Amino acid sequence: LLLISSLGGFFRRLSDHRTTRARRQAGQSSLSDALAVQSMAIIVPCYLPNEQYIMMETVEHIMTRLKYPSPFSLILCYNTPTPLPIEDELAQLDGRVYPGDRVLRILPVQGSRSKAENINAAMRDLVQSELVAIYDADHHPDPESLLIATAYMRAHKCDCVQGSTYLRVTNSLMACFINAEFFVTHFVYFPALQFLTTMGVFGGSNAVWKVSTLRAYEFRADVQTEDVELSTRVLLGRVRIRFCPEARSGELPPTGLGALFKQRLRWAIGWDQASIQHFSGIFSSKLSCCKKLGMIYLLPMRWLLILTAIFNACVAPALSLGYMLAGYTWDVPVEIVFQISFYSFVGLSLIVLCNAAIYEPPRNMLFVTLFQVAGILYLLWQLVLILISLVKICTGNAGGWVVTQRTGFRTAHFGVTMNVDSVLVASVDDDVKGLRNTVSSIDGISPLIASRAADYATLVSHGDGLVASATHVDSLAPSASCHVDERANHVGEASSSTTQ
């Protein structure tokens, strides 16, 4: 079933001439003209203690590099348990106009304790457009991604378009494998899911919604993954969500294995919560029989799929090898089943590699291949997460926010070196994203920068080495703005990269 759906999703995407793939080859002028009549707002929710050091880099990226033919407003909505000095500077930025009449709005959400509440407040108070895009604070969408997503929405007449995600910083072996996992998930499994069920899933970031639809369904703040829970409710309400992996956005990796485990466990708990809470709703909904089967495949059948995948990848080969070594032979039907299992895996791996050859740079092919080869380890990892998740849910210990201690970090923020040693950060999503190998771009933030951001270097202490981040000021505009356009990261003793 997975092989057939993966093939279907792959060829359907290649042959879909209504999307921007064909239009981009013919030029973008007609695409921009078609979208100019659609008003857009962009929401970037932030948990301020954790993301104050990276959010302005994201704002500058979206405001200066993201392509869209009509003006839009970017709403930076944030919450913080205690007042922070940066809030005064943020308040001064409210209403700032960027080239193209793009307006930055700052929205402190009083009393909020979650990303869900931040987005709900932004939708209620500031969004006045037809469409709204949502990006996490560490996301840097590709310049054309918003054009691609909105054109895809027009072509397929859906309510939400979910793009794909990759890691824009791959400075460790773990990050390279996560990047390969993201590619396989977004370019193979999600299109296969859509081909089989005609449904997509909202992933929480890098997505475009119709405002009228999103306003009708508010995010819930009492679940671990508000995006999956919202997706389930809107799909039961016959709202159309579609995947468009060509609309890509880069995010930052977790800081280490501990942060990765917390992130993935939260994801597993969120999926399991949605599966359990909405299981009965699938049968009582007004969906067609085919749609109901699709929802069953999407939610509770996940558990069965993991078990059957582990059997195919681990148990079946072990049984076959044991019988061969003992000199026994299988009956013909059993032998055929094992052969189908093996050749299905080979076929699926070829589909993955074909996708990688088309959409990924050559340097990433190695890790995509290694990810496929190590598939059994990934399946076992997923099984462990699901078992822990179900135990926590059944015992009532799904948990809420986790306070994460940060130590040994010094960073330059708005040109001022700040010591944040031993800062306690209550992470809204258990994924430590605030200080991941990056220094904010501070183009034109305030006149204060000009006097303090001429030249500085920051040594960042991480668990596996030192990251040296050096910034270069390219020019000082008459408005006393400056732009940090080069970052040199040296990790450990052997790994270095320069990004511009």
Please name the residues in contact with 186: beta carbons below 8 A apart, sequence gap of 6 or more: 164, 165, 243, 245
Please name the residues in contact with 266: beta carbons below 8 A apart, sequence gap of 6 or more: 224, 225, 429, 430, 431
In which band, very low, low, confident or very high, does the pLDDT at 37 lie, cut at 50, 70 and 90? low
CA end-to-end distance (rounded Å), the chain:
43
> Which of 222-226, 317-321, 383-387, 395-399 is predicted with the least confidence, judged by mean pLDDT?
317-321
473, 484 contact by CB (below 8 A): yes
Q: What is the pLDDT of residues 370-419, one digit of tens each?
A: 999 888 899 999 999 999 999 999 998 887 644 333 222 333 333 333 33
Please name the fold of domain 1-7+31-255: Spore Coat Polysaccharide Biosynthesis Protein SpsA; Chain A (3.90.550)
Report the alpha-carbon distance of residue 383 to residue 386 in Å, rounded: 5
Instruction: Kindly state the tokens that stand for 40.
Output: 């857009």
Report the alpha-carbon distance of residue 1 to residue 212 in Å, rounded: 36
Instruction: Name the residue ranges covered by the structural domains of the chain.
Output: 1-7+31-255
Q: What is the structure's pLDDT at 265?
A: 94
Instruction: Kindly state the tokens that stand for 145.
Output: 């991604």
Mean pLDDT in residue range 432-451: 33
494, 464 contact by CB (below 8 A): no
In which band, very low, low, confident or very high, does the pLDDT at 234 lie, cut at 50, 70 and 90? very high
Question: What does pTM read for this prediction?
Answer: 0.77
Report the alpha-carbon distance of residue 119 to residue 108 in Å, rounded: 11
Sign of the dihedral defined by the CA atoms of residues 215, 217, 221, 225, in that order = negative
Instruction: Kindly state the tokens that stand for 381.
Output: 């990892």
Mean pLDDT in residue range 13-42: 61
Q: What is the mean pLDDT of the chain?
A: 78
Judged against a pLDDT cut of 50, whether residue 271 lies above it is answered with: yes
Q: With H, G, I as helix, E, B as strand and everything else as coil, classify residue 163.
A: strand
Q: What is the structure's pLDDT at 445?
A: 35
Q: What is the structure's pLDDT at 9?
A: 84
Mean pLDDT in residue range 285-300: 89
Phi, psi of 140, deg, nearest 5: -120, 95
The 8-class DSSP code of residue 189 comes to I
